[in-house]
Amino acid sequence: MRLTDCHNFADFRELARRRLPGPIFNYIDGAADDEVTYRRNTQSFNDVDLVPNILRGVEKIDMSVTVMGQKLALPFYCSPTALQRLFHHDGELAVARAATKHGTMFGVSSLGTTSLEDVRKIGDGPQAYQFYFHKDRGLNKAMMRRAKASGVNVMMLTVDSITGGNRERDKRTGFSIPFKLNARGIAQFVMKPMWGINYITHPAFSLPQLDEHVKMAPGAMSIGGYFTEMLDPAMNWKDVEEMVDEWGGHFCLKGVMSVEDAKKAQKIGCTGVILSNHGGRQLDGSRTAFDQLAAVVDAVGSKIDVIMDGGVQRGTHVLKALSMGAKAVGMGRAYLFPLAAAGQPGVERAIELMKTEIERDMKLMGTRNVSELSRKNLIIRH
Ligand SMILES: Cc1cc2nc3c(=O)[nH]c(=O)nc-3n(C[C@H](O)[C@H](O)[C@H](O)COP(=O)(O)O)c2cc1C
C-alpha cells in the first residue's frame, strides 16, 4: 500500500497502521473509556441530511473563511496535537509546511515536539498555540510572552483536560512519555524496524515548549505526571479572564460544550470558542460538537466565532458544520494518520483531497461561497 492508494480517511488510517508500531498507532487511534464519544463524533454528521439547490451557476468556488481575524483559504485547519515527531520524524514541520502551502491555520501543541520558533520560520501563515494552564502563574505568563514573541496569531486554551482521559489502549500497551512499554508493546516496536531507524537517526525527541520548565526523563516527570502535578485543576473563569487580558489578542477556549460556558467565554473577552470533546479522548459519553453546534451558534454566534472539531473525515462533514453556523472546522486524526503514513506529502495529499471534496460538494450543493451555506441546506433526521 502506497500514498497514492490513499483516497480517504480509512485508507490513510490503514497505511498509518501498517507503518507505526502498535502502541503509537493506538495512541492516535484510541480514545477514552468505551470510545463511544469517539465513534459518535463522526456518526453525528449522518443525523443531518444536505439539501442541495440546482442551477445556480457554480463554475467558480470560493471556500475561504475568516476566523478569529485570520483569513484562511480553506474552511478547515489542523488542530493542535501532541507528540507529532513520534508519528513521523518531520512532525510539526511537515504539518505546518503542508498547512501553509494550502493557506490554512495549524495549531502547535504545548506538548509539541518542535519549538514554536522553528515552526514560525516556515512562513507567516496563521499559527495557533495550544496552551495548558499551569499552577505556576509565572510560568503561564512566561509562556505567553514567548508565544507572543514568536509571532503566534491565536491563543487556544484547552479547557477539557483538567485531568487526563482514561485511555485504556495506552494502558494495555504501556504507552507513556517517557516510554515505559510492557513486553507486548516492545514486541510491536521490534516488528516495525523502519520506524525505529528513523527515530534514532533524526534529532532526539524533545518537548521544546516545556523543556525549559519541566524535566521529563525516566524516573523524573512523565506526561501523566505533568498533567497531575503541574496543571491547575483549580483553574476558573477569573484566571482565564486575566489570561485573556494579558494576551491582548485573539483568544479562544478549546473544549467548550455548553451554551452557558460559551456565553461566559464571550463575556470575558474571548474572540472564539471551539466546541470539542478532544476527539473523544477525555470525557466519554460527552455530547458531540456537531450535535451542540446549533445551540451555541444561536447563543453567541453573532458576537464571537464558533468553531468545532471532532470526527471530521469528509468534505460533506465540513459543509454540514458550516451550514449549521460554524466559522471553521478543525481536523485531528484526519491529518495525523496521513502524517504517520507519509510525512509532509501525506498531509498535503489529505488536505488536497479534502479541498477537492469540498469544492465538488459545494458545486453539487449549488453554493459558490461559504456565506451561501445555511441551515436551509440541512434537514435533521428524527
Ligand atoms: C493523538 C492526538 C493528540 C492530541 N493532542 C492534543 C493536544 O496536545 N492538545 C489539545 O488541545 N488537543 C489535542 N488533541 C485533540 C485535537 O486537537 C482535536 O480536538 C481532536 O483530534 C479532534 O478530533 P478528530 O481527531 O476526530 O478530528 C489530540 C488529538 C489526538 C488524536
Give me the residues paired with residue 70 across strands. 67
Tell which residue, 159, 106, 18, has the closest CA to residue 328: 106
CA of 79 to the centre of ligand 1 (A): 7
The pLDDT value recorded for residue 217 is: 66
Residue with cell 527515530: 199
The pLDDT value recorded for residue 220 is: 64
The pLDDT value recorded for residue 174 is: 87
Burial class of residue 130 (count of CB atoms within 10 Å of its CB; 0-12, 13-18, 19+): buried
Tell which residue, 295, 316, 314, has the closest CA to residue 306: 295
Look up 278 and say whether it is catalytic.
yes
The pLDDT value recorded for residue 183 is: 84
Type of residue at 217? A
Chain Cα centroid distance, residue 212: 25
Kindly report whether the global pTM for this prediction surpasses the value 0.75: yes
Residue with cell 471551539: 274
Question: Which of 12, 79, 113 is the pocket-test mutation for ligand 1 (most atoms within 8 Å of CB)?
Answer: 79
The pLDDT value recorded for residue 36 is: 98
The pLDDT value recorded for residue 25 is: 97
Cell of 115: 519549538
Positive or negative, the CA dihedral 87, 351, 29, 132 is positive
3-state secondary structure 119-156: HHCCCCCCEEEEECCECCHHHHHHHHHHHHHCCCCEEE
CB of 311 within 8 A of CB of 291? Answer: no
CA of 356 to the centre of ligand 1 (A): 24
CA of 336 to the centre of ligand 1 (A): 9
The pLDDT value recorded for residue 248 is: 96
What is the chain's pLDDT, residue by residue, as a tens digit (382 residues)?
Answer: 999 999 999 999 999 999 999 999 999 999 999 999 999 999 999 999 999 999 999 999 999 999 999 999 999 999 999 999 999 999 999 999 999 999 999 999 999 999 999 999 999 999 999 999 999 988 899 999 999 999 999 999 999 998 889 999 999 988 888 888 788 878 888 899 999 899 889 998 889 998 887 776 666 677 778 888 888 999 999 999 999 999 999 999 999 999 999 999 999 999 999 999 999 999 999 999 999 999 999 999 999 999 999 999 999 999 999 999 999 999 999 999 999 999 999 999 999 999 999 999 999 999 999 999 999 999 999 8
Atom index in ligand 1 nearest the CA of residue 156 equals 11
Tens digits of residue pLDDT in 289-307: 999 999 999 999 999 999 9
Determine which one of 88, 102, 278, 317 is catalytic.
Answer: 278
Q: Where are the beta strands (DSSP E) in 164-290?
A: 250-256, 272-275
CA of 291 to the centre of ligand 1 (A): 19
The pLDDT value recorded for residue 56 is: 95
CA of 75 to the centre of ligand 1 (A): 18
Atom index in ligand 1 nearest the CA of residue 309 equals 22
Using CB distances shorter than 6 Å, the residues near ligand 1 are 27-28, 41, 79-82, 109, 111, 130, 158, 254, 276, 278-279, 281, 309-312, 330-334, 336
The pLDDT value recorded for residue 215 is: 73
Q: Atom 20 in ligand 1: which residue has the minimum CA distance?
A: 279
Atom index in ligand 1 nearest the CA of residue 83 equals 3
